[in-house]
Chain A
């Protein structure tokens, strides 16, 4: 158990809909990262938050947004969903500052029908 929790574990929805994925980092970790793993793309970085502020951005679509709350949990919002958004979405957290290990949650499997 990495200490990172993600809900829900599975999500099935329809095209055009909006969903929210939730992540709670390990106790004490200030950084939260979101990654997407689709069948043909491997693990791709989406966005990072550090202590409530956006720190780094990857190839995140404009239809996607995220935020980190004062209690450090984070939410990833996916809107106007398309079939191609079906993927595993992972959250990771790390301690502050310097190169350190990112610990991953179990992921949310999103299926868009």
Chain B
């Protein structure tokens, strides 16, 4: 049972435009979410997180939105840059505290110059 889902395996966006990556979850106990970016042959790099007490968190070009009723979160990147081309994972820690991260399957973002 996949508790964190990223239904779009890939996304192509023109440079300068907005990239929107989506993530759905099924476990209503999740109360903290993270987005990671991953380049080939490198470890995931933390981008931005959001707690369930918020519905939005912003850090520079990156904004994460959380819709608890829909069990949906999204990552917006504005403006998109060529260096943003990577695989993006959403993740949630299980239950209470900071134990295992459950990852989505990832979305490969390609920014077209």
B89 touches A43 (CB 8 A): yes
Please tell me which one of the listed residues B51, B89, B100 contacts residue A56 in the complex, with CB atoms under 8 A apart. Answer: B100
Residues of A in contact, count (CB < 8 Å): 29
Q: How far is the CA of A99 from the CA of B89 in the complex (A)?
A: 18
Q: Do A99 and B44 have beta carbons less than 8 Å apart? A: no
Q: Report whether A101 and B46 are in contact in the complex, using a CB–CB cutoff of 8 Å.
A: yes
Q: How far is the CA of A102 from the CA of B36 in the complex (A)?
A: 10
Q: How far is the CA of A33 from the CA of B99 in the complex (A)?
A: 8
Docked complex Cα distance between A90 and B94 (Å): 18
Report chain A residues within 8 Å CB of B42: 106-107
Interface of A is mostly: strand
Q: Is the CB of A43 within 8 A of B44?
A: yes
Asked whether, in the complex, the Cβ of B34 is within 8 Å of the Cβ of A101, the reply is yes
Interface residue ranges, B against A (CB under 8 Å): 31-32, 34, 36, 41-46, 49, 51, 89, 91, 93-94, 97-106
Q: What are 30 sample pairs from A and B whose C-beta atoms fall under 8 A apart?
A: A2-B43, A2-B45, A6-B43, A33-B100, A33-B101, A35-B101, A42-B104, A42-B105, A42-B106, A43-B89, A43-B101, A43-B103, A44-B103, A48-B100, A55-B99, A56-B94, A56-B99, A58-B100, A92-B43, A97-B98, A100-B98, A101-B34, A102-B98, A102-B101, A103-B46, A104-B44, A104-B46, A105-B43, A107-B41, A107-B43
